[in-house]
C-alpha cells in the first residue's frame, strides 16, 4: 500500500515503511509544479542515499482554505496530486484532511508527535519558505532547531524561479485564470490539464450532433469561459477535442455553475465513470449565447474545424 489517509492508518498499514525510517517532506503541493518537482527529486535522492523510503505528507484541501474559510481553487484534484507524486517516484503518500487538530498543533508538537513518533522519520526536507505548525511558526530555522533536539536532520530545498518569476501555486492559478497556458506550462513543467471522472449530463449535445463528456469543475481553478482546443487522455490513448468551459447559455439559461464539456473528434464510445485528463492547448473563442440551436450547431462545426486546422498547422511547423 502506498497511499494513506491518516497517521493512524499509516501506523496500522505502513509498518514496513516506518521500520525502514523514511525521509519525509510536508506541504500542500498543489499542482506539483517545477519547484515541487525539484524538491521531490531531492527527497528521493536523499532517501536513496540513506537506503530509506521517501514519504510525502500532503492535504486533500489547502490548509489556507480551512483556516480562512475562503476557497482556494485547486490546480489538481487530491487524486491527481497523489498520482503525480507516485509517478515522480515517492514510495508513499499521506493524503490527509486538514482539520482543527492539525491547525492547532505547534511546530514542535507536529515534529515530535507526527514526523518522529508516527512516521519514525530519519530526516525531513522542508520546502523553500514553507511553514509548519500553528500560526505558521515553523520556519526553516525553527524546524531545524527543533530537529536538533529530536535528532532529526532538517534541510531546506532551494528556491526555484522560472524566467525570473518566483515559482508558486498562487502564481500558476493566476495564469490559469487568465488563460495563459504557456506560462502555466513553463511553471508546471507539463501542459496545464484538468483531471476528473466523466459525469452524467443531460445528453443534449448528442441530440444536435455534438456529444460531449462532462467533467465537474467544483473546487478547481479553471480558465476563462470559452471554447478550447484540447487533448483528452484516457486509458493510455490521446484524443483531439473541442472543449467548452461555461454555463451553456443557449441551452441552459438558468445554469450558474460552470461545467467542462468536451466533444471528442473521431471517437465513439461510452466513457461514463472513466477518469480523463483534459490538456488545454489553445483558446478558440469566448463563450456566447446564440439565437437558435441551428446557429449553435453551425458555430460548433466551425469550432471543430478550427481545432483541426490549428493542430494541423502546429504539426506542419514541427
Distance, CA of 275 to CA of 252 (rounded, Å): 25
Least confident of 65-79, 129-143, 197-211: 197-211
pLDDT at 290: 87
Residue-wise pLDDT tens digits, 213-249: 999 999 999 999 999 999 999 988 999 999 999 988 7
pLDDT at 317: 60
The mean pLDDT of 189-193, rounded to a whole number, is: 95
A 10 A CB-CB count for 177 gives: 14
Residue-wise pLDDT tens digits, 248-275: 877 777 777 899 999 999 887 888 889 9
- Say which residue, 179 or 1, is predicted with more confidence: 179
On the question of pLDDT at 171 being above 80, the answer is: yes
pLDDT at 165: 74
Ranges of CATH 2.40.30.30 domains, the chain: 196-317
A 10 A CB-CB count for 182 gives: 10
Least confident of 131-140, 148-157, 186-195, 245-254: 245-254
On the question of pLDDT at 207 being above 60, the answer is: no
Three-state DSSP state, 151: coil
Distance, CA of 115 to CA of 22 (rounded, Å): 10
pLDDT at 209: 58
3-state percent helix, strand, coil for the chain, nearest multiple of 5? 40, 25, 35
Three-state DSSP state, 131: coil
All three cell numbers of 202, joined, read: 443531460
Nearest to 242 by CA among 318, 302, 175: 302
- The CATH class of the 196-317 domain is mainly beta
User: DSSP of 217-262, one letter per residue?
Assistant: -TTB--PPSEEEEEEEEETTEEEEEEEEEE--TTT-TT--S-EEEE
Distance, CA of 159 to CA of 235 (rounded, Å): 36
Ranges of CATH 3.40.50.620 domains, the chain: 3-162
From residue 43, give the alpha-carbon distance in Å to each of 24, 48, 54, 153.
7, 9, 7, 13
pLDDT at 284: 95
Residue-wise pLDDT tens digits, 46-74: 999 999 999 999 999 888 888 888 999 99
CATH superfamily of the 3-162 domain: HUPs (3.40.50.620)
Residue-wise pLDDT tens digits, 74-113: 999 999 999 999 999 999 999 999 998 999 999 999 999 9
pLDDT at 311: 82
Quote the percentage of the chain above a pLDDT of 90: 70
Helical spans, DSSP H, in the chain: 7-13, 15-19, 34-49, 63-68, 78-88, 100-104, 107-109, 140-150, 169-177, 181-188, 204-207, 293-317
Amino acid at each position: 500500500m502506498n497511499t494513506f489517509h491518516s497517521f493512524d492508518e499509516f501506523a496500522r498499514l505502513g509498518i514496513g515503511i516506518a521500520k525502514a525510517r523514511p525521509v519525509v517532506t510536508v506541504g500542500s503541493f498543489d499542482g506539483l509544479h517545477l519547484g515541487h518537482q525539484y524538491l521531490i527529486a531531492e527527497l528521493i535522492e536523499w532517501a536513496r542515499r540513506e537506503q530509506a523510503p521517501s514519504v510525502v505528507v500532503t492535504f486533500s484541501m489547502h490548509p489556507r482554505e480551512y483556516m480562512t474559510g475562503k476557497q482556494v481553487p485547486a490546480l489538481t484534484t487530491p487524486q491527481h496530486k497523489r498520482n503525480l507524486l507516485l509517478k515522480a517516484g515517492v514510495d508513499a503518500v499521506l493524503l490527509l484532511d486538514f482539520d482543527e487538530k492539525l491547525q492547532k498543533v505547534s511546530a514542535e508538537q507536529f515534529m515530535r508527535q507526527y514526523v518522529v513518533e508516527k512516521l519514525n522519520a530519519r530526516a525531513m526536507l522542508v520546502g523553500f519558505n514553507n511553514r509548519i505548525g500553528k500560526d505558521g511558526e515553523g520556519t526553516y530555522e525553527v524546524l531545524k532547531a527543533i530537529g536538533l533536539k529530536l535528532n532529526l536532520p532538517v534541510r531546506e530545498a532551494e528556491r526555484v524561479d522560472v524566467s525570473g518569476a518566483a515559482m508558486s501555486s498562487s502564481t500558476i492559478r493566476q495564469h490559469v485564470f487568465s488563460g495563459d497556458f504557456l506560462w502555466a506550462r513553463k511553471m508546471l513543467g507539463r501542459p496545464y490539464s484538468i483531471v476528473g471522472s466523466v459525469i452524467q449530463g443531460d445528453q443534449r449535445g448528442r441530440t444536435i450532433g455534438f456529444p460531449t463528456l462532462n467533467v465537474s469543475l467544483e473546487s478547481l481553478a479553471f480558465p476563462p469561459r470559452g471554447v478550447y482546443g484540447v487533448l483528452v487522455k484516457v486509458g493510455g490513448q490521446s484524443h483531439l477535442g473541442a472543449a467548452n468551459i461555461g454555463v451553456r447559455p443557449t441551452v441552459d439559461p438558468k445554469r450558474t455553475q460552470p461545467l467542462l464539456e468536451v466533444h471528442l473528434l473521431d471517437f465513439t464510445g461510452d466513457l461514463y465513470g472513466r477518469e480523463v485528463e483534459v490538456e488545454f492547448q489553445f483558446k478558440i473563442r469566448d463563450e456566447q449565447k446564440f439565437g437558435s440551436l441551428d446557429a449553435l450547431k453551425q458555430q460548433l462545426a466551425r469550432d471543430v474545424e478550427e481545432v483541426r486546422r490549428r493542430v494541423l498547422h502546429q504539426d506542419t511547423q514541427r
